[in-house]
Structure 1
Amino acid sequence: MKIIILGAGRVGQSAAASLVSEHNDITVIDTDAERLRELEARHDLRGVVGSGIEPAVLAEAGARDTDLLIACAAQDETNLVCCKVAQMLFAVPQCIARVRSGGFADGSALLSREGFAVDHILCPEDSLVRYIAKLVQYPGALQVREFAGGRACLISTRARAGAPAVGQEIRRLRQDMPEVGVRIVAIYRRFADEPDRFVPCDGATCIEPGDEVFALAATECVPQVLAALRLRPGLAARPVRRLMLAGGSVVAERLARQLAQETGRFQIKLIEPDAQRCTALAASLPEEVLVLQGELADEDLLAEEGVEEVDFFLALTDDDENNIMASLLAKRMGVRRVLALIHRHAYAELMHGTQIDIALTPAQAMLGELLAYTRRGDVQAVHSLRRGVAEALEIVVRGERKSSRVVGRRVEDLPLPPQVHMGLIVRGLPDLQASAAADPAAPAPEPEVIIPRSHTVLESGDHVVFFLPHKRLVREVEKLFRVSAMFF
C-alpha cells in the first residue's frame, strides 16, 4: 500500500515505523528537513520537505497514486485542509486526520466529501482516556484491549506467587475453571540481566511467578482470570476508588471528567503546578474532582493528601521526566499502582520492569486504530503490543467453502504459522450488511464466545482473534483469511 504521512512528530514517526515494517511504501511530509533526514536514516521511507497543504508538495510526495493519506501534523487546521486538498485535486481514496478538537466526530457532515473529506478521525487524547479508563476498571491488568465490539478482551498481568494458576500448568486453569472462557496466548518471562523472553504456550507450559501473562477471555470473565493469576485463594480484588492525577494536561482533564460521571464511585484529586491552569480546571471539572496547586514531586504535598492510601497514581503531564519522577516518588511513598505517560519510545523501554507498573506511550494507545485501516481483508481490530513487537488481530471470516480457505474447516486443518495463536472466536455478532437486509422485527441471536479446540469448525461471520508474537506473521494470517473467487 502506498501511504503519505503528514507530520514527523511522535505520532507520525510511530505510524511510519510500524507501517514500514509491514512493507508499505511510505512518504513522510514535514517542514523540518533535519527531522526527515533522521527518519530516513532509521527507516526505509522517503521524506519530502514542505507544507502538506500545498498542492505542489503533495504532488511531489506522490499523491496522484496514493492509497491512503494520514494527516497527523501538530495543528488540526493543517490536517483538515490537507485532507481536503488531497481529495479534491488528487482523488486520494482514503484520508485519516488527527484532530484534537472535540467538535469533530466520525460521520459528521463536516467530514463528508463535501466537507473536509476525512474518512476517519484520530484523537490521541481520546484514545488514551478510553484506554486508561479500562485499566481503572480492571485493577491488576497491565494492558486491556477490546475485541468484537467489547464482548472479548485481551489482558496482560504479572503473575503473583500464591495465586491459584501460578505454579501450575496452563491446562489446570481450564480444568479448575471450566465455566470460564479463557485462553492463555503468551507468556513473557523475566531472566537475569536480559530482557523478558517470549515463551510459547501449550497445555504443559507452567506459569511462574513474575511472568507477564497474556490471556484472551470473554469480557465478563476478565475479573476471574485476573484473580486466578494475581490473588491468593479467598481474597477479593480491591477496586480502584481513590485516584490521584499528576498534571493538568488535556488527557488528565478528560479522564477526570469521564470518571466523575460515575457519581460516588471515585475520589479524584488532580495536582497542577500552574495557578492559572488550576483555576481553569476547577471551573470546568465537576465538583467531585479536587484540584490542587503544587509541584508534582512535592513529597510534603503528597503526604498531606494521603498518597499512601491512593489506589492508582497517574502521571499525565506532557513532560516525560516529570512523569517518571512523580511516579517513582508515589510508588516509594506507598501507592499500590502507578502509571506514567511517556512520550519517548526509548524512555518507555527503560521503564519496563521497573517500579513503574505501567509505562504508557500515547502513540501505542492509538496505533491500533490506524493499523486497522491499512490491513487487507476484513480486519476489524488491531492492537500493537509489547512496544510494537507483537500484535493482536481480529479478522472476520467471509465467503463460503468454495471461496475461502477457512470456512467449514477445522482449526487443526488450517495452515497457520506455528507461532500464531488463535485465541478465541466470537460467533453470532450482527453483520452490518446482513442486518440492513434482515427483518427488523426478528430477534437477533445472542453472540457466543468460543474457545477454539482442534475440532472447532469455522463459520462465515465468525470473528476470530489471534495473538502474533511477531508482526512479520500478519501477512500470512491475512492471506489465509482472504476470500478468493478462484479458490476451490
Structure 2
Amino acid sequence: MLREAGADDADMLVAVTSSDETNMVACQVAYSLFNTPNRIARIRSPDYVRDADKLFHSEAVPIDHLIAPEQLVIDNIYRLIEYPGALQVVNFAEGKVSLAVVKAYYGGPLIGNALSTMREHMPHIDTRVAAIFRHDRPIRPQGSTIVEAGDEVFFIAASQHIRAVMSELQRLEKPYKRIMLVGGGNIGAGLARRLEKDYSVKLIERDQQRAAELAEKLQNTIVFFGDASDQELLAEEHIDQVDLFIAVTNDDEANIMSAMLAKRMGAKKVMVLIQRRAYVDLVQGSVIDIAISPQQATISALLSHVRKADIVGVSSLRRGVAKPSKPSRTVMKALPAWLAASLTK
C-alpha cells in the first residue's frame, strides 16, 4: 500500500491513524523498504510516550517526530493555568519566548489608548502586538491603533514578561489554587499528576474501577466516583470555592453541560475539552471561559514538522483562524537580540 501511495520517492511519511501500532509499523516499513528520510507518527498511549527516547530512534522504531495528542492538550492547559486570564499561550525558543492571546477588559491601562503608549507604560519590557481580533475580524495593529474592551490581543514577549504585558490589557487574575477536574482518562490523569504538587486538585470519574485505580496512583489528588452533572456532589465538594473547573472527558456534550452547571453553581472559571470544531466556536466566550481543541493542538504540532525553510514554529491560534508561521521582522525587532537569535536558529 505504501508503494502504491508513492513511498518510493516521498520525502516524508505522516502516520496518524487511530492505532499507535499501525503508525509505528508504517514508519518502520517506510524506513526499511523505502528509506523515507522523514517519519512522523501520532502516538497516544502514555506507556509509549513515557519511554519515547528508548523506543523511537533509528536503531529501534525509526520515528523522527512524535506527536502525542493527549500530552499536547495537557501542556496547553497547564500553560493556561500558569497564566490566569489568557485564552491561549504558545511557547517558542524552548520556552524563552511566548505568544499569548488575551481579551482586553475595562480596567486595563491600555484600554482606550493607542498601542504606542505601551512603551511608555513598560519602558524596560520588549513586546510586540502581533494581531488584534475585534468582533471576530482581524485588525492589523499599528502604533496608532486604539485598544478597545473586548478585543482579543495577540502579543509576543519574553516568557518572564507575559504577566506584565497582560496587566496592560486587564486586571490580573489571582493565581489558581483549587482545581476540579472531570474525567480520569489519559488527559485527566496526566493533568492531575502534573498539577497535584502545586495545587489543590479534585478529580471526578464516572467509572468506578477507573476511579479506584486513579485513587491508588495519584499521590495528592482527591478522586471521586460520580457524575459531574450531579448537583449534590458538586455542592458537597464546594464547587463555589473552586477557582478552575476543567472537563476533559471524551464526551463533548457532557463536558459542556457539566461546565455550565459548575459555573452556575459558583465555579470562578470553567474550561472544557471539545472534539467537534463547530462546538468550539459556539461555546468559546459564552458561559464557557475557554474551549480546548485537541485537533488544533495536533495540527499545530504536525505543521511545525511539515513546514520547512526558515520556519521555526507553527501554532494554530484562535481556534484555527490564525497560524503564525515565521517570526516576522517587526516582531524580531521588538525582542532583545538574544531572544531574536533563539527564534531564528
The counterpart of 1:77, out of the listed 18, 21, 27, is 21
Matches for 1:93-112 after TM superposition, within 5 Å: 93-101=37-45, 102-104=47-49, 108-112=53-57
Residue matched to 2:217: 284
Number of residues of Structure 1 aligned to a counterpart in Structure 2: 344
Q: 1:230 to 1:346 in 2, by over 3 A?
A: same
* 2:256 paired with 1:331: no
Matches for 1:227-266 after TM superposition, within 5 Å: 227-231=167-171, 237-260=173-196, 262=197, 265-266=198-199
Deviations 1:240-259, CA, capped at 9 Å, x for gaps: 11000011111010010011
Residue matched to 2:343: 463
The answer to which structure, 1 or 2, has the higher relative contact order (CA under 8 A, 6+ apart) is 2
CA contact (8 A) 1:422 1:464 kept: no
Q: Please state which structure has a larger fraction of its residues in helix.
A: 2
The counterpart of 2:117, out of the listed 169, 172, 179, is 172
Residue matched to 1:267: 200
CA contact (8 A) 2:112 2:148 kept: yes
Which amino acid is 1:329 matched to? L
CA contact (8 A) 2:86 2:100 kept: yes
Which amino acid is 1:302 matched to? L
Matches for 1:35-434 after TM superposition, within 5 Å: 57-101=1-45, 102-104=47-49, 108-190=53-135, 196-231=136-171, 237-260=173-196, 262=197, 265-286=198-219, 288-394=220-326, 422=331
Deviations 1:105-162, CA, capped at 9 Å, x for gaps: 6973532223221111111111111111111110000000011111111101111112
Deviations 1:402-455, CA, capped at 9 Å, x for gaps: xxxxxxxxx6xxxxxxxxx63656666xxxxxxxxxxxxxxxxxxx346xxxxx
Alignment gaps of 5+ in structure 1: 1-56, 191-195, 397-410, 412-420, 429-447, 451-460, 466-488
CA contact (8 A) 1:424 1:464 kept: no
- Root mean square deviation of aligned Cα: 2.1
Alignment gaps of 5+ in structure 2: none
Residue identity over aligned pairs, in percent, reads 41
Aligned mates of 2:268, 2:52 — CA distance in 1: 41
Shift of residue 464, structure 1, vs aligned partner: 5.1
Shift of residue 368, structure 1, vs aligned partner: 2.2
CA contact (8 A) 1:148 1:426 kept: no
Question: After TM superposition, where is structure 1 displaced by more than 6 Å over at least 4 residues in a row?
Answer: none
Aligned mates of 2:267, 2:257 — CA distance in 1: 14
Question: SS at 1:384's partner residue?
Answer: coil
Deviations 1:302-350, CA, capped at 9 Å, x for gaps: 1111111111110000111111111111122222211110011111122
Aligned mates of 1:464, 1:325 — CA distance in 2: 44
Aligned mates of 1:290, 1:109 — CA distance in 2: 33
Question: SS at 1:209's partner residue?
Answer: coil
Shift of residue 68, structure 1, vs aligned partner: 1.2
Question: SS at 1:325's partner residue?
Answer: helix
Shift of residue 379, structure 1, vs aligned partner: 2.3
Shift of residue 271, structure 1, vs aligned partner: 0.6
